Amino acid sequence: MRSASIKLAAAAATLAACVPANAHSESVEYACGNGVSFRAMFHGDRVVLTTATARYVLRRRGGSLERYGSAKTAFVRDGEDAVLVGAAGGPYENCSSARNSTPTSA
């Protein structure tokens, strides 16, 4: 478990290093229908998702919707609505962004 946490922290640090200083980031809190929640930090073509028990770094995928994924995890955002599949602590279904979403500068 500690090794996984270290790897995730290293991935997040690598992601932050790859984002240009003037890049726009967006932080969004999502609340889901069954009472669970998660945070999404958007950085260019990647999103860092943080749940109560884990963190995921996903790359943007093609398609008409805003989709991000890895081998085991997928995140889809359509306006204020979202779904997160394959993440620990879920299911993350019927999720909506909280009103306090804030843009940030990297």
Q: With a cut of 90, say whether residue 3 has pLDDT above it.
A: no
CA distance 1 to 96: 30
What digits encode the pLDDT tens for the residues 54-76?
999 999 998 878 999 999 999 99
In a domain, 72, yes or no: yes
CATH number, position 58 = 2.40.128
pTM score: 0.71
pLDDT at residue number 64? 79
Domain count, the chain: 1
Residue 16: phi and psi, rounded to 5, are -60, -35
* Contact of 55 with 48, CB cutoff 8 Å: yes
Q: Which domain holds residue 19?
A: 2-99
In a domain, 106, yes or no: no
Peptide bond into 103 cis (omega under 30): no
Can you say how many angstroms the Cα of residue 83 is from the centroid of all Cα atoms in its chain?
11
In a domain, 105, yes or no: no
